[in-house]
Amino acid sequence: MQNNSRKAALFCSDNRAFESYHFTHLNSLFGENMKIMMRNLSRETTESELLDLFKAYGDVQYCKLVMDKVTGKSKGFGFVEMPRVGEAKLAIKGLNARDIGGNKIRVKKAEKREESATN
């Protein structure tokens, strides 16, 4: 936290202005959180099951299982965002290729989405 406070002080001469922010918010301001993608999920895996899997490794800021708009069923992939990179890396290492719901899931750092060029 002390390191983040010093960074915050660079942006605001009054460090007390940042006291009300949570540690996870400071991390998001400085880009220290990590977005993770999971693939090959069983169609029966729920968002709360995913959340529980990742909570075993640390705090989870965001968890989203991608659902088909027409059928309302899982598309077999999802995203999690964790505020601490170290915990996120441990989660990736611990969960990648693990059997969940009868499927060997794939877990990796999410790639930044490239925007398509429009002419």
Here the CATH number for the domain that contains residue 49 is 3.30.70.330
The label of the residue with tokens 């936290």 reads 1
pLDDT at 60 exceeding the cut of 80 = yes
- 13 belongs to a structural domain: no
Q: Quote the pLDDT of residue 14.
A: 44
Task: Mention every residue, 6+ apart, whose C-beta is less than 8 A from residue 94.
Answer: 56, 57
> How many domains does one find in the chain?
1
Q: Quote the pLDDT of residue 113.
A: 75
pLDDT band (50, 70, 90) for residue 11: very low
| DSSP classification of residue 17 | G
* Domain, as residue range, for 90: 32-109
Residues 91, 54 contacting (CB under 8 angstroms): yes
Q: Quote the pLDDT of residue 115.
A: 65
- 46 belongs to a structural domain: yes
Residues 95, 53 contacting (CB under 8 angstroms): yes
Mean pLDDT value across residues 88-97: 98
Helix, strand, coil percentages, rounded to 5, for the chain: 35, 25, 40
- 26 belongs to a structural domain: no
- 3 belongs to a structural domain: no
Mean pLDDT value across residues 25-35: 65
| DSSP classification of residue 52 | H
- 20 belongs to a structural domain: no
* pTM of the model as a whole: 0.69
